[in-house]
């Protein structure tokens, strides 16, 4: 018993962190019906940490290794212990935390800091990653290539907006397949180019120049950094637009895990601080689909109002402002939210019209958002959705239904376990009993 410990078992059958011998059941968060495993090895002392670790970022649940270390051990010493246990050696390794979606998170940059100082706790999972961390004051930035969809050569979005006609060589089907929002996952457009190590004091233009020296990008013949648009990479898709080439990377707040994706441009681009970059898509009447996306730069210096945006979109497509409808697309929900010019706000005294900022609820408009445009001269249908949206919503519905059934099955199992009769304690051997009754006559 001295060399064994109790370890809780989760609903997937994975052994969790051992329970210290001094813990009460309440402190160990054990409830009626909890599963425990009796395992070899002593439980960690109050000054020790039980950690999971794995090699690389492609980790499958249940394949992690385990180690017990003192909470006062440094990051570099902890890394050496993990490398020894994994049978590896060398100096080109570093540690990262694992985030909630089982991917590589923030690196442990302060190699001399203790695990306790960095608030590493028992049960945490650390990833042993290949590659030396850059020195203080430098960033190691993964660079990606973002190729937005090319406009169809058969699509004439500006020449005949009232009829939305295609040239004789084209057809609606080709335009629909190339331009339908959500037809391909966003991460499919990102191509990894390589990592660059650069000072935090360098500018965004310096980062673009250094990225242009990477072998995959040097073959693409980009004329200058001004022909590249830079985005942060968030969730494997373009996130925040980095607009000023003169801005220092320190002020861009990239962090130590953010990548940058570069998008090629047909001409130089110099966006102002109030310019908003939107991807507009003109709806094709009668087929529930959209033409390929086109970049629209909207100057929001006079305010993020719906009427200002409608004026810009109408001018962009050479349409009367009263003959268009616009809507923002939410790809994660497969939904379109119409953008109206006015919002009725009712007060106790009187009704008044208030123009709300599109930066706030419910639109949260930002750089890179998709805005659908409907030409009312050719399409009077109030619906903005596409056939791809129907498929996406149905898939989400089936996924939610599957999760609900799993939760119900677990709830039934837990209920059956809690309602099962508790086994009675074993009875001792029976013994004879003699009773002596005195006479009180």
371 and 244, same domain (yes or no)? yes
Cβ-proximal residues to 78 (8 Å cutoff; 6+ apart), any chain: 51, 69, 95, 115, 126
pLDDT at 157 over 60: no
pLDDT at 46 over 80: yes
CA 341 to chain centre: 32
From first CA to last CA, the distance across the chain in angstroms is: 61
pLDDT attached to residue 417: 58
Q: What's the CA gap between 421 and 417, in Å, rounded?
A: 9
Query: Is residue 435 in some structural domain?
Result: no
Tell me which of 374, 389, 404 is where a domain ends. Answer: 389
Contact 182, 334 (CB under 8 A): yes
Q: What are phi and psi of 417, to 5 degrees?
A: -70, -40
**Structural domain count, the chain:** 2
Query: Is residue 414 in some structural domain?
Result: no
Strands 370-375 and 275-284 turn out to be: parallel
Number of C-beta neighbours around residue 441 at 10 A: 2
354 and 289, same domain (yes or no)? yes
Q: What's the CA gap between 371 and 79, in Å, rounded?
A: 48
Query: Is residue 100 in some structural domain?
Result: yes
Contact 340, 355 (CB under 8 A): no
Contact 309, 357 (CB under 8 A): no
Query: Is residue 382 in some structural domain?
Result: yes
Q: What percent of the chain has pLDDT over 90?
A: 36
Q: Where are the alpha helices (DSSP H) in 150-213?
A: 172-179, 204-211
134 and 145, same domain (yes or no)? no
What's the DSSP call for residue 155?
Answer: B
Contact 242, 260 (CB under 8 A): yes
371 and 257, same domain (yes or no)? yes
Number of C-beta neighbours around residue 16 at 10 A: 15
- Whole-angstrom CA distances from 392 to 103, 181, 331 are 24, 11, 9
Q: What's the CA gap between 425 and 419, in Å, rounded?
A: 18
180 and 226, same domain (yes or no)? yes
Contact 227, 264 (CB under 8 A): yes
Which of residues 235 and 406 earns the better pLDDT score? 406
pLDDT at 174 over 80: no
Q: What's the CA gap between 375 and 162, in Å, rounded?
A: 7
Nearest to 94 by CA among 108, 114, 113, 112: 108
Tell me which of 115, 138, 161 is where a domain ends. Answer: 138
Contact 78, 117 (CB under 8 A): no
pLDDT at 193 over 80: yes
Q: For 207-257, how does the pLDDT look when each residue is reduced to its tens digit (9 = 90+)? A: 999 999 998 888 788 888 889 999 998 877 888 999 888 888 888 888 666
186 and 66, same domain (yes or no)? no
Query: Is residue 275 in some structural domain?
Result: yes
Q: For 369-385, how does the pLDDT look when each residue is reduced to its tens digit (9 = 90+)? A: 999 999 999 988 889 99
pLDDT at 154 over 80: no
Query: For residue 389, with 0-12 CB atoms within 10 Å meaning exposed, 13-18 middle and 19 or more buried, which class applies?
Result: buried
What's the DSSP call for residue 203?
Answer: B
Q: What's the CA gap between 54 and 126, in Å, rounded?
A: 7
pLDDT attached to residue 409: 80
Among 177-191, 206-220, 323-337, 414-428, which is the least confidently predicted range? 177-191
pLDDT attached to residue 427: 63
Q: How confident is the model at residue 171 (pLDDT cuts 50, 70, 90)?
A: very low
Quick check: helix, strand or coil at residue 418?
helix
147 and 126, same domain (yes or no)? no
pLDDT at 304 over 50: yes
User: Which residues are bridge partners to 47 per DSSP?
Assistant: none
280 and 214, same domain (yes or no)? yes
117 and 163, same domain (yes or no)? no
CATH code, domain carrying 230: 3.10.20.90
Query: Is residue 423 in some structural domain?
Result: no
Q: What's the CA gap between 309 and 268, in Å, rounded?
A: 24
189 and 114, same domain (yes or no)? no
pLDDT attached to residue 67: 92
Contact 314, 307 (CB under 8 A): no
Q: What's the CA gap between 12 and 222, in Å, rounded?
A: 50
Query: Is residue 353 in some structural domain?
Result: yes
Which of residues 185 and 290 earns the better pLDDT score? 290
Residue 345 tokens, joined: 């706000």
Q: What are phi and psi of 145, to 5 degrees?
A: -105, 125
350 and 238, same domain (yes or no)? yes
Cβ-proximal residues to 111 (8 Å cutoff; 6+ apart), any chain: 74, 75, 76, 79, 133
* 309: containing domain: 140-389
Q: What's the CA gap between 333 and 126, in Å, rounded?
A: 32
Residue 216 tokens, joined: 């995959």
Residue 187 tokens, joined: 């991460």
CA 3 to chain centre: 42
Query: Is the bond preceding residue 366 a cis peptide, omega within 30 degrees?
Result: no
Tell me which of 389, 419, 435 is where a domain ends. Answer: 389
- pTM higher than 0.75 for the full model? no
The rounded mean pLDDT for the chain is: 80
105 and 157, same domain (yes or no)? no
Query: Is residue 373 in some structural domain?
Result: yes
């Amino acid at each position: 018993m001295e060399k064994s410990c109790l370890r809780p078992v989760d609903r997937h059958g994975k052994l969790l962190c051992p329970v210290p011998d001094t813990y009460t059941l309440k402190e160990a968060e054990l409830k009626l019906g909890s599963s425990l495993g009796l395992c070899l090895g002593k439980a960690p002392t109050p000054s020790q940490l039980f950690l999971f670790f794995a090699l690389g970022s492609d980790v499958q649940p249940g394949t992690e290794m385990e180690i017990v270390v003192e909470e006062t051990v440094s990051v570099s010493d902890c890394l050496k212990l993990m490398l020894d246990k994994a049978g590896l050696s060398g100096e080109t390794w570093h540690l990262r935390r694992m985030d909630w979606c089982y991917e590589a998170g923030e690196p442990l940059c302060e190699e001399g800091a203790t695990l306790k100082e960095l608030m590493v706790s028992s049960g945490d999972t650390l990833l042993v990653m290949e590659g030396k961390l850059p020195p203080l004051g430098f960033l190691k930035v993964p660079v990606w290539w973002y190729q937005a969809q090319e406009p169809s050569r058969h699509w004439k979005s500006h020449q005949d907006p009232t009829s939305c006609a295609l040239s004789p060589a084209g057809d609606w089907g080709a335009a629909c397949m190339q331009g339908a929002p959500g037809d391909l996952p966003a991460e499919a457009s990102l191509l990894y180019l390589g990592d660059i190590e650069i000072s935090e004091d360098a500018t965004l233009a310096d980062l673009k120049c250094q990225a242009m020296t990477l072998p995959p990008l040097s073959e693409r013949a980009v004329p200058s950094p001004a022909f590249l648009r830079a985005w942060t990479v968030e969730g494997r898709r373009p996130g925040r637009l980095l607009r000023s080439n003169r801005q220092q990377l320190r002020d861009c707040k990239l962090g130590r895990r953010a990548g940058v994706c570069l998008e090629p441009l047909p001409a130089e681009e110099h966006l102002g601080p109030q310019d908003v970059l939107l991807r507009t898509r003109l709806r094709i009447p009668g087929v529930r689909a959209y033409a390929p996306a086109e970049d629209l730069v909207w100057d929001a210096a006079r305010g993020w109002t719906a009427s200002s945006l409608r004026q810009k979109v109408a001018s962009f497509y050479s349409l009367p402002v009263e003959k268009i409808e616009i809507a923002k697309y939410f790809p994660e929900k497969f939904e379109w939210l119409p953008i109206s010019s006015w919002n009725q706000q009712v007060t106790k005294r009187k009704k008044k019209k208030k123009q709300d900022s599109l930066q706030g609820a419910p639109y949260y408009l930002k750089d890179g958002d998709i805005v659908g445009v409907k030409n009312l001269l050719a399409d009077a249908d109030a619906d903005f959705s596409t056939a791809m949206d129907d498929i996406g919503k149905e898939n989400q519905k089936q996924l939610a239904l599957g999760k609900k059934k799993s939760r119900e099955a677990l709830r039934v199992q837990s209920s059956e376990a809690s309602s099962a009769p508790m086994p009675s304690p074993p009875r001792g051997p029976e013994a004879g009993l003699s009773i002596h009754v005195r006479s009180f006559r």
